[in-house]
Structure 1
Amino acid sequence: MKNHAYHSIIFDLGAVLVDWNPRYLYSKIFTTPEEVDHFLQNICTSDWNETQDEGRSLEEGTELLIAEHPQYEAQIRAFYGRWKEMLGGPIPETVRILKQLKDSGRFKLYALTNWSNETFPIALMEYQFLQWFDGIVVSGKEKIRKPQPDFYQLLLDRYNVDKSTSIFIDDNFRNVKAAEEFGIESIHFLNAEQLQQELSTRGILN
């Protein structure tokens, strides 16, 4: 716990405020959980998806992967062709916390997200709470992503944010660790109840 005033709260979006999971789609495509696991661990991997999050076009990413795994062409095309089916909706408990922070009027709220610039507009149309942020930095637009330090710096520079009075929230421990090494106090998000507790301990929420 730090005894200083916080001015800025920086949220990750996926798995913190937005329930996004490729398994929602691929459990419809494959018949067993083992097949889903194999496909997401070996074909459409998180590393491959993050390259699109860093600005590679969905078309290029898809065609490159099909060239490597032609036997999975239909399943690979579904990743972005049926991308919307990976969205489970808002995570209501965390959205409630975001609303409390917004309504308090005490903080600037930002989002720093690894997300393709081609699919992010879908989320913007889908989720009204994304309008509550004072600024959103999307990796696919900037062609840089977490955990690269320059991506955190970009948000600070663009919105004139002081990292010493900020707190960063992300479900990916890799990104949390990078933010802390960069000098931003961070919370590794596990669930909304834990987040509420962490924010209360810091005096951010009552």
Structure 2
Amino acid sequence: MTIRAVVFDFGGVLFDWNPEHLYRKLIADADERRRFLRDVCSPAWNLQQDAGRSIADANAELLASHPQHEALILAFYQRWPETLAGTLPDGVALMERLEAAQVPLYGLTNWSAETFPYAWEHYPLLHRFRHIVVSGRERLIKPDPAIYRLLFARMADDLPDLQPSELVFIDDSARNAEAASALGWHGIHHVSAEQTAAQLRQLGLVF
């Protein structure tokens, strides 16, 4: 088996992103904070920005239905950098070991087009990927097969005669990893860098 490239998801693999990092500062009570992030600035609401909805439209939707939480709603993006608590050392170390072994690296991330530029500016490790597909820019989102196919087409420009079976995709979401596997890639559900490294070695990568 020959693996010609590894594709990384970012959040939960290389980056420690979590709205809790911000809202622990804004909502002291843990139960109240949990309810707010479940029912107001929820994962489903945030995912729509990752799929291409503008921040302005996202805020307008919540302000119309939850006007009593205006300040907390607006804080989500006004103070968005505080939701990003830096990188995950084990994941970055894994990436760097693959890079040192000259394995081509690519990125496939569910991320808002309006917040990704902050990460691009402040985290130079992103510049080391050959190509990154950002869901918000493409208005496609994992696990939609279309976004995987889009990245594959762009990778094929770099890697002639590329086959799906020659790719590994690492994601902290089992659903997203399974979507890659359904297309013939080797999807790895990232639970820890140690387990992911072991699975990469099972696929024949030496690093």
Tell whether the structures are fold-level matches, with TM greater than 0.5: yes
Aligned to 2:164: 163
Counterpart mapping for 1:53-202 below 5 A: 53-105=50-102, 107-160=103-156, 161-202=162-203
Q: Contact 1:110 / 1:136 at 8 angstroms: preserved in 2?
A: yes
Q: Contact 1:16 / 1:94 at 8 angstroms: preserved in 2?
A: yes
Give 1:38 deviation, angstroms.
0.5
**Residue type at the aligned position of 2:36:** F
Which of 16, 19, 25 is matched with 2:13 structurally? 16
CA distance in 2, matches of 1:33, 1:196: 35
Q: Contact 1:156 / 1:162 at 8 angstroms: preserved in 2?
A: no
Give per-residue Cα distances to partners, 1:19-65, cap 9 Å, x unaligned: 10000001111012111210111111111111111111111101111
Count how many residue pairs are aligned between Structure 1 and Structure 2: 202
In the TM superposition, structure 1's runs of 4+ consecutive aligned residues that sit over 3 Å from their partners are none
| SS of 2:21 mapped into structure 1 | helix
- Calculate the TM-score normalised by the size of structure 1: 0.94
Show structure 2 runs of 5+ residues with no match: 157-161
CA distance in 2, matches of 1:153, 1:100: 27
CA distance in 2, matches of 1:167, 1:199: 8
| SS of 2:100 mapped into structure 1 | helix
CA RMSD of aligned residues (A): 1.1
| SS of 2:85 mapped into structure 1 | strand
CA distance in 1, matches of 2:54, 2:75: 15
Show structure 1 runs of 5+ residues with no match: none
Q: What is the percentage of aligned positions where both structures have the same residue?
A: 43
Q: Contact 2:3 / 2:204 at 8 angstroms: preserved in 1?
A: no
| SS of 2:81 mapped into structure 1 | helix
Q: Contact 1:196 / 1:205 at 8 angstroms: preserved in 2?
A: no
